[in-house]
Structure 1
């Protein structure tokens, strides 16, 4: 398990006595040690863990004064080493659970936390084996106590199963990224062994209230308490406020302590509840809450299991909180990059941005509009590949560079995209991105002309004043693909009353459809609703065209020309 989860070539369960170091559990150990399962004490790194009664973490044993003379460096190939204490039932350190790398390794906090969790579970297994051994000896000496011994054996088997639950919980929670993931992982782990009908996580928010993470389809008699104040007379509030678990195994016990909850527990059908504080650095982070539809006596080992599980949840919550802080910061950065649109006397302009359905995804979609001359508006739509914080940062860089180029000098769209792609390559790892840069301007005769260059982006869609819809062809390769790309300009006269729509691919993509089918849905929507005011039209597009659970961000920018052709002198923009 250690070798697979942490990703090391060698993992050992090490027990030390006065003569040797024994390996009751080993993965990746070379011969002859894999067969003998022991080494002389002089080869032992584990004895340092036992003697110091604390973890031993080594990046490169060859240069570490504590162990650089140990023959195991050459004999067993130990270079990087991380060992966590294994405890017996008296709290004595009897060995170590260690992860070994044959190369220098800088161990991360996450790896060390996970190894510590696995060591705790392994200690529980060792204690069970020690206890089982004692039971075996007692069985031989106490034939008359056969019935009592069988009961104890069953209890030990149950405890072993619950030790497996903790091991499974450690593995499941290690991969969680959100509070919802944590609740789902806990539900999966305890569903079979403990059998609660309700699993909830209540997390302390900035107002010092407890928010429920978990099932939301609660009867009004229960939902009315949310969010929960720490002063509320409820099991979870008492558990968090006092820092002590609340176990109530029968409905009569619940009502004896909380008589005002009679209607609520009747509505949900609960007969037993448990509220366990989730420990934090200075105060509980919240509480785990379980409920059962029948009486549920809480044995000592089950209480210990649930309490240990709350400790694992604490680590997972801290990771999830840190992850969400990063995502929120990236989303804030991303939204800050969405420009305030300039206003032109005779041109309607509107835009929308909608984040991905999943809260843990951040994209590189953006739109922009810049007045570059009194009679010309530059419109941009772009999408950097990826759904993470790096994509958002790269988007911000490309957007800022392009904005600077737009106000620096007047050049055709293709020339500016060539300059942008050149900067993209020169400034480090090039971003892969699709972009459309379009100019909309008045011609000397008072009509309007669209000029654009398309770097691998979904084509612009033009809705003519008669309601007909067509995609504007002409596309060059993506930015970041090659510095040798030849980029071209396209142009299209715009009739009075026509509408131009630029969008990112999240608007039309669905797993079950081709790109062409998604584009056809967009065109059909535009045909049906072309008569709407521009803002309403774009709202309708964003509300009806995408997949309701879209996994990509969506950006849309649209402009509409007036139904008349203004004179050249009247085409003057204001910002």
Structure 2
């Protein structure tokens, strides 16, 4: 059949190979699962395993394909982008099909809503292109290098699956070749499963140690190395060992950081950009003599090190070591090369996550206020982010000195513990601070004004908060606390007689409630402490809230006379600790003791 430019689609041999796959315009469970995996990893609306026959293309594997095409599992070639891949035997990458001259006017644009397209060739063992593995977006898409590299790896795995089917067909035809072909098919299947598992499991890693652990698990039962190593090149060309935890400390310290010119398997692979294969101890002494002593010490006899690819060249090496002579065949070398690509991507992602975490910590420090001089009151605060997440969140505390012996105190909680929650919290805190210095209104009126301002500005932030004023009692004896509570855990009043709850709670901020907000007043005895806190201090998925609150009252009362920082440290350690599930913010204020 002729293509648009007059060239012809390959015919007899290619169609014969397609027939041996025994795949038609019907769903195949294995290829459907494969398409679903690719769709999840690449985050695209549609993924197709498309085979181009004479006059039509069929989809034995499909995920996300709309009707009626999902039922038919085929289209005429008038709706085919994949025929371009078959004719050119090369990937077809389209950012916007509507404006791309290679495919503009193809009926798939209007009938199947194909706009962004990336198709990788699917080949048989002779290199003939049978179709394509294609990722489809319904909107223009600029495909990244990492996405295309992943799609290419998936296409290689899909080609292995097609070859397996072809091989099985040939096995039935050629009994004399049955044993050899079956072994090859099993090996191809194992390689396919290994790479599919690698693409999924390495996507969940967050550190170099995680990467090493996952790779070791992946190759157990197949390559069975005694040691899996990851080494990286730094900006000065030195090699740093990232997998020292799996080595004796003396060996890990020896190779923790060394010059890139040192002749080791990892350094040689990273420096040259080509695999270093050492099938026995003699090859180790000949090619990488400076590593031979370590090999002897550890009882290792062979190794293979493959470079980790980066945007500007190798960034390190992935190394496998065995305690016996081991020669990698061509298929195993290809698996290690593909695995190294996944490892390099996972390490780049881990570096990105580390950088993101550092940015989050800087952001959080910038959002936390410096406590004012609160004399004659004592004042202390503490914030700890959730143990999991981006180490920044939506909980906050604040204290504003309005004038002598008049202090405003705030604690609040915007849902979430990521940078988006922190940004929303920062906006809410800033608006409340402006209102505090601009208005002389009751706490309830100020919270109502804050809610109204947020809604008027289109800043729909749902949050809990307590706003309190601490000032001299009009009687001249002690002090008074005026507060209003917008759906937040009630503050605690702590005295020598124990701890009691400062009740009174109104709706959350941001709910557009018509209920009136209320202010409350309480006389504070000399030397008493008021503790404001967020729910991350006491709420867990395991324990009853009533019991946690009872224990909090007991613990707070026991530290009624302790310095405020000691009180907050004790409560944080006793109730949150190093594995708390949510952010924790606390601020405590103490009135002057009459004995002072």
Give the TM-score category using the shorter length: 0.7 to 0.9
User: Deviation digits for residues 96-152 of structure 1, max 9, x if unmatched?
Assistant: 112456x55647647656434322322343455556667777x46xx5xx6xx6345
SS for the counterpart of 2:380 is strand
TM-score (structure 1 length as normaliser):
0.83
What is the deviation of 1:357?
A: 1.4
Aligned to 2:183: 154
- Structure 1 pair 83/175, CA: closer, same or farther in 2 (3 Å)? same
> Secondary structure of the residue that 1:224 maps to in structure 2?
helix
Alignment check: 8 A CA contact 1:230 1:240 kept: no
Q: 2:60 aligns with which of 25, 28, 39?
A: 25
Out of 66, 81, 86, the residue aligned to residue 45 of structure 1 is: 81
User: What's the counterpart of residue 484 of structure 2?
Assistant: 453
Distance apart, 1:476 and its partner CA: 1.4
Q: Does the 8 Å contact 1:59/1:79 carry over to 2?
A: no
Larger RCO, structure (CA 8 Å, separation 6 or more)? 1
Give the structure 1 partner of residue 114 of structure 2.
79
Task: Using the TM superposition, give the Cα deviation of residue 23 of structure 1 relative to its aligned residue in structure 2, in angstroms.
Answer: 3.0
Instruction: Compute the displacement of 1:95 (Å).
Output: 2.6
**CA deviations over 1:399-423 (Å, ceiling 9, x no partner):** 1111111111222211111111122
Contact 1:369 1:380 in 2 (8 A): yes
Q: Which position in structure 2 is the counterpart of 1:384? A: 414
Q: Counterpart of 2:35? A: 2
Q: Is the 8 A contact 1:20 1:39 kept in 2?
A: no
| Structure 2 residue 576 is the aligned partner of structure 1 residue 525 | no
The 1:453–1:168 alpha-carbon spacing in structure 2 relative to 1, beyond 3 Å, is same
Shift of 1:392: 1.0
| Kept after mapping to 2: 8 A contact 1:412/1:489 | yes
1:184-224 Cα deviation digits (max 9, x unpaired) = 54445334433446555445567776666668475321332
- Is the alpha carbon distance of 1:293 and 1:446 closer, same or farther for their aligned partners in structure 2, counting shifts above 3 Å? farther
Q: Is 2:241 the counterpart of 1:222?
A: no
Deviation at 1:393, TM superposition (A): 0.7
The aligned counterpart of 2:541 is 511
- Gap change, CA 1:561 and 1:119, over 3 Å in 2: same
User: How much does 1:500 deviate?
Assistant: 2.0
Partner of 2:360: 330
* Contact preservation (8 Å) 2:264, 2:291: no
Q: Structure 1 121/488 Cα, relative in aligned 2: closer, same or farther at 3 Å?
A: same
DSSP-derived class of the 2:493 partner: strand
Are 1:240 and 1:284, in contact at CA under 8 Å, matched by a contact in 2? Answer: yes
Shift of residue 363 of structure 1?
A: 1.4
**Which blocks of at least 5 consecutive residues in structure 1 are unaligned?**
567-575
> Please, what TM-score do these two structures have when normalized by structure 2?
0.80
Kindly indicate whether the alpha-carbon contact (under 8 Å) linking 2:239 and 2:257 is maintained by their aligned counterparts in 1: yes
Distance in 2 (alpha carbons) for counterparts of 1:540 and 1:30: 59
Contact 2:120 2:151 in 1 (8 A): no
Among 344, 347, 359, which residue is 1:314 paired with? 344
Instruction: Tell me if the contact between 1:364 and 1:392 (Cα under 8 Å) persists in the aligned partners.
Output: yes
Return the match for 2:106 from 57, 65, 70: 70
1:115 is paired with a residue whose SS is helix
Separation (CA, whole Å) in 1 of partners of 2:379 and 2:285 = 62
2:426 corresponds to:
396
Describe the shift of the 1:325–1:448 C-alpha distance in structure 2 as closer, same or farther (beyond 3 A). Answer: same
Equivalent position SS for 2:586: strand
When structure 1 is superposed on structure 2, of 495-504 and 270-279 the one drifting more is 270-279
Residue in structure 2 matching 1:190, options 211, 216, 219 = 219
Q: How far apart in 1 are the matches of 2:477 and 2:489?
A: 29
Deviations 1:230-251 (A, max 9, x none): 4366543443333344445556
Residue 46 of structure 1: CA displacement?
1.0
Q: Match of 2:313, SS?
A: coil
**Who is 2:594 aligned against?**
564
Q: Please name the residue that 1:372 is paired with.
A: 402
RMSD: 3.7
Cα distance 1:40–1:292, how it changes in 2: closer, same or farther (>3 A)? Answer: same
Alignment of 1:14 onto 2:50: yes
> 2:16 maps to which residue?
none
Deviation at 1:339, TM superposition (A): 0.6
Question: Is 2:585 the partner of 1:555?
Answer: yes
| Structure 2 match to 1:569 | none
Report the alpha carbon displacement of residue 281 of structure 1 after superposing the two structures with TM.
Answer: 0.7
